[in-house]
Structure 1
Amino acid sequence: MWLFKYLFTNAYRSLQTPNGRRLLWLFFRYAGRPRHQSGVIPFLGYRFQVPDALSFVWQFKEIFTDESYRFTTDIAKPVILDCGANIGTSLAYFRQTYPQARIIAFEADPAIGAVLAQNLKANGINDIDVVNKAVWINDEGLDFGSGEADGASMFSETGRRLVPSVRLRDYLLRETRIDMLKIDIEGAETDVLVDCADALAHVRNLFIEYHAYIGHPQTLGLITRLLENHGFRYYIDSNQSRVRPLVNHRYRGNDLMDLQLNISAYRP
């Protein structure tokens, strides 16, 4: 029994829930497709246009199977800010799980933003305020690379351009309560969080996808100190499972990034 659990832990866990079984089907059906080719994938009553099938399957795992964005709230209409909404998978989850929530979504990449708008409209995911701008420390624009699939970032050298930006701090200060702040902005998170530090008082739950890019300082300690100093408890998780990390210095063979972590923070 223990050998079976050791060898087949992920598959065993997936079989325990409906969305886990759907994940296995998505892996079987779509994960082997050629990378970075656009197509339509049906799931949970939705039909999403996706720029890369494998990236979408990993999104489904994190969002619908693992429910990494689930939070508890004592009000009927929680406020959710989704920074880095990508093609809208997280918005589908938020709208389904918190049907009366007021949601503001930000997406920096113009091409991905167009896919996001199409997916929301085609699937009847309504009443979401979509801001097609980068989340940043000012509203003067951000030098931004489009990357591939979900790899767009300020560190990507592909398709670089100046994209419009908004200062997240301004949005936080407009609210008296933010039930969930999701930040998945591909390397800009540390600068943005430092800029927003004095505006986090009304944030109750915070999800940060932390990225460290090769050739640039690692700033995980700065983020965790910021969370501690502003009254958050946090949990850090990584799906890298990197073997021999003192020898293997790359994140999934990535030539740009050598670390990615999920930080879930909440107020006790």
Structure 2
Amino acid sequence: MISWGGAARYKEKKNIKFRDLIFDIPDSLSFIYQIKEIFGDEIYKFKSKNKEPLIIDCGANVGVSVLYFKKLYENCKIYAFEADKKIFQYLEQNIKNNNANNIELHNKAIWIDDNGIYFASDGADGGHIELDSKNTQKIDSVALKNILLKHSYIDFLKIDIEGAENEVLLDCKDSLNNIQNIFIEYHQRHDKPQNLGEIINILDKANFRIYLENITKYKSPFLIESKTCEFELQINIFGRKIPK
């Protein structure tokens, strides 16, 4: 796995074996990073009192997270959403390759409405919603708030949607009561207003105990020129519901 680090990016590889799983992937570097975070560091590991936990995976990419959840809880029910049409094909194939069941796959962007949204693909794990229609394509969208309201108990909600988490969480701020564990990959673009404090406040009011992990880790943040990086800040946000 690690030996792929020097491989050219955006080159398809098929039948990649990892443990007892098989993957088709569009990009080695992003896949290695996902394997490290998800199976190595186990950043999504959580406890559930349910034998069949309900998991909503927003930003499922090629399915590494989905298959990890299936290893963690074999009988879990997963709703997985992936916006990028090309990446979604890999997600479908990987679920099929590994005979995983009780999974609903949706080729839709998680957003604040069901009216569709413009999307920019990067061919790996960096595809993102763009409110500007230039160099993008319009794709189907679904309001996360409506999904959450359909379920009385959600064991785990994962949100990794490359910057759209800001608008989505603001829209869902009154619909988080039934979620027991939440993960958010927070992206702060250098040219956008900072609203990390607002997101933390939403989670705090929803009675989550919060842990933050900074994954940018600039050694000298006062010296960083914003124009030299796409994201000036990336943070993993973990929230665990506090029993009342």
Deviation per residue, 1:165-206 (Å, 9 max, x gap): 011111101101000000000111011111111111000000
1:76-95 equivalences in 2 (<5 Å): 76-95=51-70
Q: Secondary structure at the match of 1:199?
A: coil
Question: Alignment length, in residue pairs?
Answer: 240
Residue equivalent to 2:175? 199
Name the structure 1 match of 2:34. Answer: 59
* Matching residue of 2:7: 33
> What residue is the counterpart of 1:238 in the other structure?
214
- Structure 2: stretches of 5+ with no match in the other structure: none
2:61 is the counterpart of 1:112: no
Contact 1:147 1:159 in 2 (8 A): no
Q: How far apart are residue 143 of structure 1 and its match?
A: 1.0
> Which blocks of at least 5 consecutive residues in structure 1 are unaligned?
1-25
* Percent identity between the two aligned chains: 41
Letter in 1 for 2:235: L
2:96 to 121, 132, 157: 121
Cα deviation, 1:193-229, whole Å, max 9, x if unaligned, reads 1111111100000000000112111211110011111
Consecutive aligned runs of 4 or more in structure 1 exceeding 3 Å deviation: 155-159
In structure 2, distance between residues paired with 1:184 and 1:228: 19
Residue 54 of structure 1, CA deviation:
1.0
**Compared with structure 1, are the counterparts of its residues 53 and 250 closer, same or farther at alpha carbon in structure 2 (3 Å cutoff)?**
farther
User: Computing the radius of gyration over CA atoms, which structure comes out larger, 1 or 2?
Assistant: 1
> How far is 1:159 from its partner?
4.8
Q: 2:234 aligns with which of 241, 252, 260?
A: 260
Inter-partner Cα distance in structure 2 for 1:166 and 1:34: 34
| Counterpart in the other structure of 2:25 | 50
Residue type at the aligned position of 2:190: I
Equivalent residue for 1:209, pick from 162, 180, 185? 185
Residue 188 of structure 1 pairs with residue 128 of structure 2: no
Measure the CA separation in 2 of the matches of 1:83 and 1:158. 24
Distance 1:123 1:222 in 2: 40
215-224 vs 131-140, which moves further? 215-224
- In 1, the alpha carbon distance for the partners of 2:240 and 2:134 equals 35
The Cα offsets for residues 16-37 of structure 1, whole Å up to 9 and x where unpaired, read as xxxxxxxxxx21x211101121
TM-score, length of structure 1 as denominator length: 0.86
RMSD of aligned residue pairs (Cα, Å): 1.7
Aligned amino acid, residue 56 of structure 1 = F
* Aligned twin of 1:173: 149
CA distance in 1, matches of 2:225, 2:156: 33
Kindly indicate which of the two structures has a greater share of residues assigned to strand. Answer: 2
2:109 counterpart of 1:134? yes
For the Cα contact (< 8 Å) 2:86–2:123, is it kept in 1? no
Question: How much does 1:250 deviate?
Answer: 5.3
1:218 has 2:198 as partner: no
Contact 1:147–1:158 (CA<8 Å) still a contact in 2? Answer: no
What is the one-letter code of the residue matched to 2:67? A
Task: Kindly provide the amino acid, as one letter, of the partner of residue 223 in structure 2.
Answer: V
Q: TM-score, normalised by structure 2?
A: 0.94
Name the SS of the counterpart of 1:162 in structure 2. strand
Give SS of 1:246's match.
helix
